[in-house]
Amino acid sequence: MSTVVDARPIGQDKMASDRARFIRRARNQIRDAVKKAFEKGDFKTLENGKITVPVRGMKEPSYKTAQGTGVTDHVATGNKDYVKGDSHQKPPQGSKGSEESSATNENEKGEDEFAFQLTRDEFHEFFFEDLELPDLVKKSIKTITQTTRERAGYVTSGPPSQLDIRHTWRYAFARHLALERPTDSDIEKEENETAAVLLKNRQDSIPLIDDIDLRYRNYPIRHKPVTQAVMFLVMDVSGSMNENRKGLAKRFFLLLNILLEKKYGKVSVVFIRHHTSAEEVNEQDFFYKQETGGTLVSPALEMVNQIIDERYASDWNVYISHASDGDNWHEDNNQVKTEILRLLPKIQYYSYLQVAQSTRNTLDVQVFDDLSRSYAKVQYAIALEPENVWHVFRELFSKDSL
Amino acid sequence: MSKLLFNGSEWSFGEIEKTLEVVEEIGRTELGLSLRKNQVEMITSDQMLEAYCSVGMPVYYSHWSTGKAFLQQKHAYEGGQMGLAYEIVINSNPCISYLMEGNSMPMQALVLAHASVGHNSFFNMNYLFKEWTDPDAIIDYMIFAKKYIRQCEERYGFNEVEFTLDAAHAIKSVSYDRYLRPEKMSDELKREKDLLHKNVKELERNEFSDLIPDSKKNWSFNEDDFLADTEPEENLLYFIEKKAPNLKQWQREVLRIVRKINQYFYPQMQTQVMNEGWASTTHHYIVNRLYELGKINEGALLECLSNHANVLYQYSYTRNLNPYALGFAMFKDIRRICENPTAEDYEWFPNLVNTDYKEQWLFAIQNFRDESFILQYLSPKLIRDWRLFVVSDDEEDPFYHIKNIHNEEGYLDIRTRLAESYKLENRIPQIYVSGANLREDRTLHLEHISPNGSKLTSDAEQVVKEVAYLWGYEVKLHTTNHVISAHHSENFK
């Protein structure tokens, strides 16, 4: 007896061990790609923690005959143009030294190089391996389910307010055509009076709009988790923030971004940089544009406040990450505190990272120390070396601190 | 009650079982086929991709190249650069075939007729498969191979096993026993079963135990035999497994596994046109019969025929002949010659005209492979229909020359050339072991035979290095115009 088996639930992901061996083999190349992605700090390519790794040198060599070498007779199909004894010019690249050209092309293009995507888990493994770090601690940021109504096609019943005239009329018109309902102009044009009356009667017996013509716009209810999250990255770009310090900030921002994307899927990012005044910029300018001058922190926070009110009110999860070398005018500190207090009801979390040892002890640690004692949403840390960033990050985002 | 097996495009397991029963029945009674028991497995597209990468085998030993193939295929599939096959079928007993869950019911019926009747009967009846493969044992052997290689990884480390497999894979495409039939795989299995349980120490001690015939009973290692001047050998993997001076016993076993699995596909390589042509002929016959018997409706028939036409499409001006199309056309032509012979057919196929075409089909699938099938059955009519022609391609000449076209003068030449192109010798390079001087410097000499002067790709140098890794000493590959050599080096990997 023959059998039919549903094998779909069986042996899912059979390739896992082969995939693991491949990744083990391509380790160095993947590590390079991950490192580059991290150093570039390009948020877009890191979206969903997935990156594409170009793989070279994973060739499986074997003995093959080079095409077009030697003397061979081939049988081909569909001849409509040639008779015995005809000849046909070969395409130019295949004329001389064809072995070399075909062979090298094969090396460059063919199986030798291809790109593939790391899964999020694999990516994190490499990502944190590079930092010599243990696995990312799993922790839950609260997610809420929201019901919304979404536009989805047309239905035959619904509230009058959602009646779609155009669609209804389209069906009515089709029905008129099918039943040959006379139009007003047909009746007017009819010269024979009895015929006109008959036409009028026929018109009356076929309604202009029938119940079956009615079409309403459809808005079914959808339950969906709130996936909207926005991350404000605030960075001091005054003269004292050198590349090294910016690098620390960048690493920190990147980690936060990955963590948020893990939780929320997609995260909007707002880049705000400041010296004595604040401005919203794109990613490129945020990380790479040089600035000089002194520092005032409060304008930046004021701007965050303003942007939240304008664009991210109510149903957004707002995260603010702030990096600075701790420079600030002493007079500004109270202003900073006030701004943060204004922010607090609207946001999920405020993390402050200081990337330099406080010398004049101006902004900073003092302000945030006070705040973090009273509000769990505010956390701060100091990181001076790249290796510290992860530890600091972990500290900030460990279960206890949230 | 309707006689229809199914209605509409959604499939259910009940309908598939019923359909399988009916198509098997038609295959057996009307076409006179002998079938193995079928095992039809419904799978997802991801599983189909997985099956691609393990040549259809439900079990395969783990190696990075399989992972690579999978990632590549997945990338191509998800990027829309390739579609998936409708089915994959394995030469095993029971005959396992995979159906894709995404196919419509008429497609499933088509695939059942194609794979579970067509391929199944071909595997079961063709002489090559009967003599060279052991469908009862293959799955068990694959399971053994996977287990053994995992064991080796645990004992000797990932790297060692990986390097050995890499090297074996590099040469497997030129390592076939072409004339000597392999031992039954079931015997092989008995031998291998012990291996899994054997103590490592014992394995090491019996390093050379199986180098000498019948060594299992009276084991005595004869150094002179081992070092004796070697005969030329066609199977490179076999030679290295038996004669490489420094390989560990487990490495020899790994080479043996690669060699055995490789050999299993040897008949498949020689019967592509016949196998696919026969399966297409079968599905075409059965689907039409289902319609005639009122078991499928017009819609289902049309869907099947439309897919049939897509699969059998043949481009013009190419030497890539679609094996489905060529094979199908040839079987169809045999039927035509039997039923409606022309004067030409009386001259060319006196033994076919006015005989029962079904008997001729059965005879053909049992006794031929691609090369001999074409040589025997390719008719002048088919050559004309396909407008076949012979092109001569000389590396040194900037022009292609047309040597023959579809006319009286050309038929025989076209038929011979086409048949020759399916000879394995013309599909894979001929590389054999010409000798190894085991008493002196232990250099292994390989020779590339190329009567038509074709050369190897630049890959060859890399492969020679892989061979040197296994051989442990210098390896020289003598090609038509130069010698490629590589020394064994510890830090090659």
- Candidates A336, A399, A343; CA nearest to A369 is A336
**What pLDDT sits at residue A104?**
39
Q: What is the mean pLDDT of residues B151-162?
A: 88
Cβ contact, residue pair A69, B455, below 8 Å:
yes
CB contact (8 A) between residue B395 and residue A12: no
What is the number of residues in chain A?
Answer: 402
pLDDT for position A60: 85
Beta carbons of B239 and B433 less than 8 angstroms apart: yes
Q: Do B463 and A63 count as a contact with CB atoms less than 8 A apart?
A: yes
Alpha carbon of residue B295 to chain centroid: 35
Minimal Cα–Cα distance from A60 to chain B, Å?
7
| Unique residue bearing structure tokens 């004049």 | A360
3-state class percentages of chain A: helix first, strand second, coil last, to nearest 5: 45, 20, 40
Q: In angstroms, rounded to a whole number, what is the distance separating the alpha carbons of residues A141 and A256?
A: 13
Q: A71 to chain B: which residues are within 8 Å by CB?
A: 392-395, 452-453
Query: pLDDT tens, B318-346?
Result: 888 999 999 999 999 999 999 999 999 99
Q: Going by C-beta distance under 8 Å and a sequence separation of 6 or more, which residues neighbour residue A192?
A: none
3-state class (DSSP) for residue A190: coil
Which B residues in the span 395-434 are in contact with A, Cβ-Cβ below 8 Å?
395, 398-407, 409-410, 414, 417-418, 421, 428-429, 431
Domains in chain A: boundaries: 17-57+113-135, 154-217, 227-401
Task: Please give the helix or strand (H or E) that residue A206 lies within, else none.
Answer: none
Decide if B21 touches A, using CB distance below 8 A.
yes
Beta bridge partners of A289: none
Closest in B17, B171, B319 to A75, CB measured: B319
* CB atoms B459 and A12 under 8 Å: no
Q: What is the pLDDT of residue B426?
A: 84
| Cβ–Cβ under 8 Å, residues B148 and B141 | no
* Whether residue A137 has pLDDT greater than 60: no
Query: Which of B67, B414, B428 shows the shortest C-beta gap to A21?
Result: B67
Say yes or no for a CB contact (<8 Å) between A18 and B315.
no
Q: What is the mean pLDDT of residues A82-92?
A: 87
| CB atoms B453 and A71 under 8 Å | yes
Task: Note which residues in 56-75 of chain A have CB less than 8 A from chain B.
Answer: 58-66, 68-75
Write the residue in B66, B158, B317 that is nearest to A15 by C-beta: B66
A150-171 pLDDT per residue, tens: 777 888 888 888 888 888 998 8
DSSP per position, A49-61: G--EEEE-S----
* pLDDT (0 to 100) of residue A362: 58
Average pLDDT, rounded, for chain B: 87
In this prediction, what percent of chain B has a pLDDT beyond 90? 55
Provide the pLDDT confidence category of residue A109 given band limits of 50, 70 and 90: very low
Minimum Cα–Cα distance from A4: chain B residue = B40
- CB A18 to CB B418 under 8 A? no
**Crossing angle (nearest 10°) for helices B370-377 and B272-292:** 70
How many residue contacts between A and B have a Cβ separation below 8 Å?
Answer: 259
- How far is the C-alpha of B183 from the C-alpha of B215, rounded, in Å? 16
Which fold is adopted by the domain A227-401?
Rossmann fold (3.40.50)
Q: How confident is the model over A25-76, as pLDDT tens digits?
A: 888 777 777 767 666 655 555 555 556 777 766 788 888 888 888 888 889 9
Top-confidence residue, B70 or B185: B70
Distance from CA of B447 to the nearest CA of A (A): 12
Q: Residue B241 contacts by C-beta under 8 Å, 6 or more apart in sequence?
A: B247, B252, B255, B256, B259
Please answer whether residues B420 and A75 qualify as being in contact, where contact means their C-beta atoms are separated by less than 8 angstroms.
no
- Do the Cβ atoms of B170 and A61 come within 8 Å? yes
| Mean pLDDT confidence for A15-24 | 83
Local confidence band at A374 (pLDDT 50, 70, 90 cut-offs): confident
Is residue A142's pLDDT more than 50? Answer: no
Q: pLDDT by residue (tens digit) across B181-200?
A: 777 777 777 777 666 665 44
Q: Do B98 and A7 touch (CB under 8 A)?
A: yes
Give the pLDDT band (50/70/90) at residue A99: very low
Q: How far is B289 from chain A (nearest CA, A)?
A: 21
pLDDT at A308: 87
Question: Residue A131's pLDDT is what?
Answer: 38
Per-residue pLDDT, averaged over B102-123, amounts to: 94
d(CA A116, CA A335): 50
pLDDT for B267: 92
CA distances from A123 to A52, A118, A127, A132, A267 (A): 10, 6, 6, 14, 18
Nearest CA in chain B to A104: B458
Q: Specify the range with the lowest mean pLDDT, choosing from A146-150, B3-7, B101-105.
A: A146-150
What is the distance between the alpha carbons of residues B57 and A286, in angstroms, rounded to a whole number?
A: 53
d(CA B361, CA B333): 11
ipTM score assigned to the predicted complex: 0.81
pLDDT digits 0-9 by tens, B474-488: 999 998 888 898 887
Chain A environment of B406 (Cβ under 8 Å): 79
What is the rounded distance in angstroms from the CA atom of residue B20 to the CA atom of residue B22? 5
> What's the confidence (pLDDT) of residue A310?
87
A contact test, residue of B458, B462, B466 with most A CBs within 10 A: B458
Contacts of residue A117 in chain B, CB cutoff 8 Å? 75
Using CB atoms, pick whichever of B41, B454, B462 lies closest to residue A61. B462
Q: What's this model's pTM, rounded to 2 decimal places?
A: 0.70
* pLDDT band at residue B237 under the 50/70/90 scheme: very high
Q: What is the DSSP string of B325-367?
A: HHHHHHHHHHHHHHHS--HHHHHH-TTTTTS-HHHHHHHHHHH
pLDDT reported for residue B19: 95
* CB proximity A153 to B under 8 Å: no
Question: By mean pLDDT, which of A131-140, A154-163, A180-189 is the weakest?
Answer: A131-140
Does residue A145 have a pLDDT over 80? no
Return the structure tokens found at B35: 């079938």
pLDDT digits (tens, 9 = 90+) for B241-292: 988 888 888 999 999 999 999 999 999 999 999 999 999 999 999 999 999 9
A75 contact residues in B (CB cutoff 8 A): 319, 321, 388-391, 414, 417-418, 421
pLDDT in tens, A332-353: 878 888 888 888 888 877 888 8
- For A130-144, A314-328, B16-30, which range has the lowest pLDDT when averaged over its residues? A130-144
Mean pLDDT of B41-49: 88
